[in-house]
Amino acid sequence: MVSVSAGWDILWILGVYLMANVAALVIYYADKKAASRMLRRVPERTLLLVALIGPFGALVAMRSFRHKTRKNKFLLVYLFALLHILLAAYLLTRPW
């Protein structure tokens, strides 16, 4: 039997995950603005690490702002998103 607090735990985890993806989008946007203004940029390694944690926010930013779409190493963002989808599918189908 699942306790009532488990529902709150899931909501808390989803909230944190949503914030991580929003943060990724904001960081990619800030880097795009810095690039257009010739300011100090966010290192690519940092952008990839952020994408590993919040890949959907990074993908939305890449597509919306046309940022880092020509760099081959940023194809990893799609792999990160796929890994998140596979992990979610595993966790959702796993018997508790």
pLDDT in tens, 50-90: 999 999 999 999 999 999 999 999 999 999 999 999 999 99
- Domains of the chain, by residue range, sit at 4-93
Q: Crossing angle for the helix pair 4-36 and 55-65, nearest 10 degrees?
A: 30
- Quote the pLDDT of residue 41: 97
pLDDT band at 3 (very low <50, low <70, confident <90, very high): low
How far does CA 37 lie from the centroid of its chain?
A: 25
pTM: 0.88
Tell which residue, 75, 22, 80, 72, has the closest CA to residue 51.
80
Residue indicated by tokens 């914030």: 19
pLDDT band at 1 (very low <50, low <70, confident <90, very high): very low
CA 18, 24, 29, 34 torsion: positive or negative?
positive
pLDDT band at 4 (very low <50, low <70, confident <90, very high): low
Residue indicated by tokens 């390694």: 45
